[in-house]
Chain A
Amino acid sequence: GIQVEQSPPDLILQEGANSTLRCNFSDSVNNLQWFHQNPWGQLINLFYIPSGTKQNGRLSATTVATERYSLLYISSSQTTDSGVYFCAARSGTYKYIFGTGTRLKVLA
């Protein structure tokens, strides 16, 4: 089945810095989502982005399906951006496969 890898595994930023999180997948995908998991475990939808580019405030995402990767950009990071970021991809079957996440800590 499809494999999903995320990098970097851990990231520490000073407030106001920008960052790029990467998600590589091993096969073509028909669905791809980015989530932020808050300290209470809730997965919050960031982007549904099987291809193309989307922006939402300080966050944007790009998926290049032909090259099998997706990028999540966080600009002007804030302490509330801390948490774990997951990408999840679906290929062919019904199930989504999650990456192992990027743990982000933003320091004040």
Chain B
Amino acid sequence: DTGVSQDPRHKITKRGQNVTFRCDPISEHNRLYWYRQTLGQGPEFLTYFQNEAQLEKSRLLSDRFSAERPKGSFSTLEIQRTEQGDSAMYLCASSLARSGGVNEQFFGPGTRLTVL
């Protein structure tokens, strides 16, 4: 069990550019979540996948944001036409749905995005 990994760890981009982040969940985990965290705040939910199906999206996820999880393994989060307000830490988490409703999330180290 190598834990959740995210790539890149840091990304600096200019306003208007597109960026893509990758998340590799714990191998047997069927659930995957993306969150965004700004300075001084708790993580905010963006979207959720169960296997390859995207089952829930936050209203925070504007049309410029898209997420995929092909084949139910790794996931990508793309931000098009980045804005300075997109600067944040993007966190990925995964979990394995267990009997009795147990659903403990494990987080990756995050990707810190800075939009200049």
Cα distance A40–B9 in the bound complex, in angstroms: 11
Alpha-carbon gap, A48 to B100, bound state (A): 13
Q: Main SS of the interface on chain B?
A: strand
With an 8 Å Cβ cutoff, the count of chain B residues facing the other chain is 28
B47 nearest in chain A by CB position: A95
User: With the chains together, A41 CA to B112 CA distance in Å?
Assistant: 9
A14 close to chain B: CB less than 8 A: no
Q: Does A90 lie within 8 Å of B42, measured CB to CB? A: no
Residue-by-residue, is A3-22 near B (CB-CB < 8 Å gives 1, otherwise 0)?
A: 00000000000000000000
Contact with B along A25-44 (1 / 0, CB 8 A): 00000110101000011110
* Known interface pairs A33-B104, A48-B102; A94-B48 also in contact (CB < 8 Å): yes
Whether A74 is near chain B, meaning CB under 8 Å from some CB there, is no
Taken together as a complex, chains A and B put the C-alpha atoms of A96 and B107 apart, in Å, by: 13
For A78-108 the 0/1 string (1 means CB < 8 A from B) is 0000000010101001111111110000000
Q: Given A41-B112, A42-B110, A94-B55, does the pair A100, B42 have CB atoms closer than 8 Å?
A: yes
Known: A31-B101, A48-B104. A41 touches B109 (CB 8 A): yes
Residues of A within 8 A of B91 (CB): 43
A97 to B40 alpha-carbon distance, docked (Å): 15
Give the residues in chain A near B31, CB-CB below 8 Å.
Answer: 94
Indicate with 1 or 0, residue by residue over A46-59, a CB within 8 angstroms of chain B CB atoms: 00101000000000
- Chain A neighbourhood of B37, CB < 8 A: 41
Further pairs besides A43-B93, A94-B56: 12, Cβ < 8 Å: A30-B101, A41-B89, A41-B109, A41-B112, A42-B107, A94-B50, A95-B45, A95-B48, A96-B33, A98-B35, A98-B44, A100-B42
Which A positions have Cβ atoms within 8 angstroms of B? 30-31, 33, 35, 40-43, 45, 48, 50, 86, 88, 90, 93-101
